[in-house]
Every structure is written in structure tokens, then in C-alpha cells.
Structure 1
Amino acid sequence: MDRATEHGPASQQDMRRRNLAVVLGAVRAHSPLSRAAVAGRVGLTRAAVSSLVDELIDRGALTEEAATASGRVGRPGRALVVSHRGPAGLGLEIGATHLGACVVDLRGEPRLWRRVEQDNTGRPAGDVLAEAAALAVDAEAEATALGLRVEGRVLAVPGVVPNEPGGLVERAPNLGWRAVRLADHWPDPDALPEPENEANLGALAEYWSAGRTAETFVHVSAEAGIGAALIIDGRLFRGARGFAGELGHLPVQPDGSDCACGARGCLEQYAGEAAVLREAGLAHVGDPVALLAERAVAGHAPTLRALDRAGRSLGLALASAVELIDPDALVLGGAYTELADWLLPSVRAELAARVTVRPWAPEALRPSALGRRGPVLGAALTTVRRIMMDPTLLPAG
């Protein structure tokens, strides 16, 4: 077969796919827009844009509404907007102490949040996944009532997710999971979510929804454990096998305490939730982060010392990351955001003392505005981002 004939149709399909994404992106960024205004922005002919818009409307990505009166003589115009109904992404989260769900529409707007506090540590993976699946069913039913249609599902997990198909969670120490494959436990194979590391999703949510103040940054998140993710030049860096970002298991005391991962002296043993509670002399009951914040506000001396120690250990680990990666920023997410007032001074002091090879500004370390919602929001946004890059993922009609 002639090579031009063989590859021509595919190239035309690829071009149309790109043009659909360009038009959808322009409307999302600048709506409401008329068809003519879209054509002016994207540099395509009005006829081409009209065809692309018709397809996006047919796929449920755009709606065309009556424009506001302009005062000019002639037929009233029509305005294109990204649909607030129809396509949506479902984000799910399994943490050591909770389950979560979030639905985001195609505009990137969260439409519902759910969080169920429960202890998942050491429980059978099948039981936890069954409960997460039930939460997903409830969230999808609520989304349907809002006129939304879930087009993809992503599950945030506090563990290592290799770069391979099949829904494998290689290791999640704070859950007690090893080699758990979602397909073996999820009740509905047609609604099987794609697993991803929760720190990675928190970083992506930060990049996609927080104003993109940095293109290269390290995002550190904490719940029961400590995870990190690297965004480099606007792209998530997963590593050769998907194991990048295990900051919580970076040794900060080579001969230190035993860690659940099997090593010793890991950062989690000094800056993790359980370690800070232990150092502060507090019992692990209820919401540990809220308890630590409450005691810190009250000036509880053991809690303040524990948070100072955690900040210094975290600063030691982050100084190594800064020297190795040269990021624009360091972002503290997850539970760390609620403890930032007491962690940041000691982290910044450690960074100032140890980052000597390159310039480092104290304000380059900041808390995330997303807090504990970052991972589940990133999970939901993953589907939305994929649709924005390739609207043909949406069914026609």
C-alpha cells in the first residue's frame, strides 16, 4: 500500500482531534464566545470552526446559548460555553484514615465532594475496595441527578503504582497492601478506576487548578504517610518504573527508628503524622491533624516541640531535593497545609542552612491552597484533562 494512502486518513483524524481540542480549549478559557470569535482566536476558517463546534455540541462538550443583547441591528447572536452538564470526571481516594470522592465537570468545577472517616490500615484490601466502590456508585448517582455523566474514574492511593497496565498497587505500607490488583476486588469491572499515587495527583491538581505559579516544583503531601511528586517543565515525572517521589522513605537518620517499609530512619518516622503525635505525647484518636493544630494554637509545649522537630526533618529531606532537582518552588499539601504555621519556620531555617549551591528564597516554600482535597481533586481532573486534550474520547450523539 502507498505510504501516503496508508497514513493520510490517520493524519487527518489526528488533525481534526487537535483542532477539536484547540476549539474546546479556547471556549473554556474565554467563554462566552461566538463561532466567529472562536475562529478569530484559533486561526481557523469560520466554516471549519462551525463544523468542529457542531461535533463538540454533539459530544456534549459545548452548549450554544442566546447571547446577551448587543444593541446592534440584526439577528441575535449565539454564545458558546463549556457544558455544565454532561461529561464529568470521578475522583476517588483511599487513605489510611478515610475514603473520598469528587466529581468535576468539564469546566473544571467540582460539583460534589464526599469524605468518609474510617480506619483502613491493615484491613483486607477487598473490603476497603468494596467500600470505595460503593462510595463511587453513590457519587455517580448524585452526579447523574445533577445532569452529569461520568466519563472516567481515577483512584488516588497512598502507595506505589508502577508504569504498567492492569490496575496494580505494588505497595502501600500505610494500608498494609502488597501487590494488590484492583481488578481482583472491584465489584463492577465496567466501572474499574485507574489507580494513581495520591501525591502525584495532588501535584497535578496543584498545577492544573492553582494558577501555575511554577512549572517545576516538588509537591509534598502528608496524611498517615509522606509522599512527594515532581512536576518538571509542567509534566509529572514518574520515574523509570513509576516509583519516583518516595520522599517519606528517604533516610534522615541512617541509624534511626524502624519504618513500616522495612528500612530505618525514614522521614516518616520523624515528620509523619504518627511520629508527631508520639513526640507530642498525644493519643491517635479522631482527626490527628485537627488535634495537633488545636494543641499548637493552645501553646501546648510538647506539640510545638514535636512540630519543630518534624519541620527540621522535613527541611533536611527537602534540602536534598532542592539541590538535586533545582525546582522553582516547594509546595506543602495534604495535612501539612493545616500545620503550616508551625512547620514552615523550621523547614525554612533548615533550607536556609543547607541549600548553599544555588539561590533559594524563603517564599519559594509555600502551603497548597487545596489542602487535603488535592489528591481526590487531581483524580477527578485527570479525566477532564484527557477529554480536553482529545474530545473524541466522548461518545457522539
Structure 2
Amino acid sequence: MPDADELVADALAAVRGSDVRQAERQLDRLMVGTGTADGATAVDAALARRLVRGLARLWPRGWQPVDVHRIVRRRLDAGAARLARAALAAQRREQAEPVPDWWDDQLRALAAQDRDAGPEVLAAWTAAEGLDRIDALRAAVDVLALVESLPPIAVLRPPPGSTGTALPRVAGTTRTGSPMLDRVRALLAKAESTTFPAEAEALTAKAQELIARHSIDEALLAAGAERGGDQPSGVRLGVENPYAGAKALLVQEVAAANRCEAVWSDDLGFTTVLGWPADLVAVELLYTSLLVQATAAMLRGRAERRPGSGRRTKVWDESFLNAFALRIGERLRAATDAATEAAGQTEAGADRLLPVLAQRGEAVRERLETLFPGVTRHRLSVRDAEGWSSGTSAADRASLDVGDARRPRQVPGRP
């Protein structure tokens, strides 16, 4: 009889192929196990070992825990994502090299706890999910096949075990532990929940004012400290169906207004945003809030349509969201220009502020060219005039005016 590692390898090869019957036969062999008394335990251990090794190989290839969890959930299902979380916890437990604090922050945010990282990861997950053994084995092999098939992506931050000497240091404010950011989150949460447009506008405008002031202060502080080793960093924001293209366009518009660059990876389900830390925080917070506003406005607009008017709902929705994103971008850029002008007059003067912002913008563009040398553009098309008009009107009513700096940058997705 073959050993457990051979059985796992055969099942994985069969799942990757096109012969469904062969894949089922190999899963049956996994069920039988090695023919010994502890055959099932040996198979589970072999699957877990290979999955943990597969995860470890992803980190130098640019993947982060949140990225792995997102794509497993996107391409498989929520149960598979929970198995991925348990495997992430197991891999962290075995990680011998130094692990940066932000890495553990991601694991905690995913609830990938050390208690899930025991030697019987697969058995514990199977019991928690209430699955029979054949379904559990099928799901585990599917997760393993996906993990081992993931391509290299941009390395945004030094992975575990890296000294960071070949990658940019991340300067500035972190995403957590800041009283200012806590205030912004609270304001945006209230803006999203209120049913009064005037109140939402006031709350969001205040949040944007705090973000804009903080971002400019960070730029001036970094310039004054002359930290020559600091460079732009990046984050990946999930862009899910339906209407992933319109959501990616919204990320792009918010990013461009905040001196960031955005690149949409359609097949992987995320947009990479490159920029300075304070600007990345602004993009993430504002995009999340604006997506809530845009979705709510789209649903209201859909309900107000006359029966039988326009094209089918999907085309109308997509046109609505595209128009919303582009109009929001225009409003944001006007607000950032005003905020920059005001800061130049009251803080350090345009002679100091504008060169600082220009230098930081150039650094972001250089980072884009380094990480994404083959980036392409996607032309936007309008397929429903009524949806486009309604989306533009909704964007005019939306409470969004972030102020942070400079003109928008080119990003894939805009015509």
C-alpha cells in the first residue's frame, strides 16, 4: 500500500486533471487510507503538512494571510475559508523565522487562533463543520490544490523571516491604535447608518476633514525628519462580485484623489493600492464608507424606476455604480485641491508643501512601475443612460469631500 504522502499526491494530481472519475477514485483511496490501524490519521496529517508547507511557500511570493483567506472564500466557499484559517494558524505555530507584528495582526483579524493549530487540524475542522469524511477530504484537497496553484504577486511588505533590506520600510501611522482614526471610523459609521442625508453629509465631511489634515501633517513631518529610507507601501482591497469592475473603479477614484495608485487584479479579486501610510488609511476608510453609500443609493434608485423602463436591472446597476464612482472622483479631486491650497497658506506655505507632495507622488509612481511594469488600461463603456444619470445624481448627493493633495493619477480601469 502507498504511504499517506503518496495518496495525497495522487489525489491532488487527479483533482488538477480533467477526469472526474479518476478524481473520485483517488478520493476513495484517501478514504481507505494506508491500510493500517491509524491510516485515516496518517492521511489527515499528510494533508495538513502539505497545506502548511504550501502556505509557507506563498509568503515570499507576495501573499499575505488576508489574501489567502479572501481567495479561498472567493473561489471555494466559507467552509473552505475556515479550513484555510485553521491551516494559517498551524503554519504560524511552525514558523521559525521572525514574524512582523502586522502579520499577527492579520491573523488575529481573521480569528486564526493558536488553539486551532493543533496536530489534528483537519479532524477538528471536519467536526466543527459537521461534515462526513469524504466531503471533508474533498474540500481539503480542493483547498490544497488552490493554495499550490496561486501565482506570484507583488511583495508589498517584508514577509516573515525577511530582514526588509530589499523592501521599503513602512513609515508613518499604522491602521490601528490612533485616536484620530477611531474618531474617523465612528463618524463614518454614523454617516452610513443615519437616514437623514444632511446629517450623513456633515458627519462624513468632518471625517474627511480629519483625514485630510492628518495626511498633510504626516507628509510635512516625514519631510522634516528626512527619513531617506522610507518609501511608499501598499494594501490590497477585496473587490467582489457582483459588479467587481465598478467597485474597482470606485477604489481607483478614491485612490487617485489621495495621491495613491491602484491596480485591479480581476482574476484574483482584489485591487492593489500603493501610497504612503496615511493616504492608504484614507483610501481604505473612504472606499468602505462610499461603497455602503453607493450600494444603498443604487437600491433606492432601482426601487424608484418605473416598471418596464430602461434595460435589465444588471445593466442599470452597473451603469449606476460606474457613474457614481467617476462623479465621486471629480468631487474628491476638487476637495483635495482646496485642502492643499488651504494647507499651503496656513501651515508651511506652498513653497514648502507642494514640493513635498510632488516628491511623494513621484515615489508612488516609481513604486507602481517597479511592481506592475506591464499594467494595462481598461476602457469604460456606458450601457444604460438612465442608470448613468441616476448614479451621477446620487454621487452629487453623497457625503464625500476628502482633502489630501494633488491631481489624480492614471490607473487601469479608467478610459
Whether TM-score is above 0.5 comes out as no
From the two aligned structures, give the one with the greater strand fraction.
Answer: 1
From the two aligned structures, give the one with the greater helix fraction.
Answer: 2
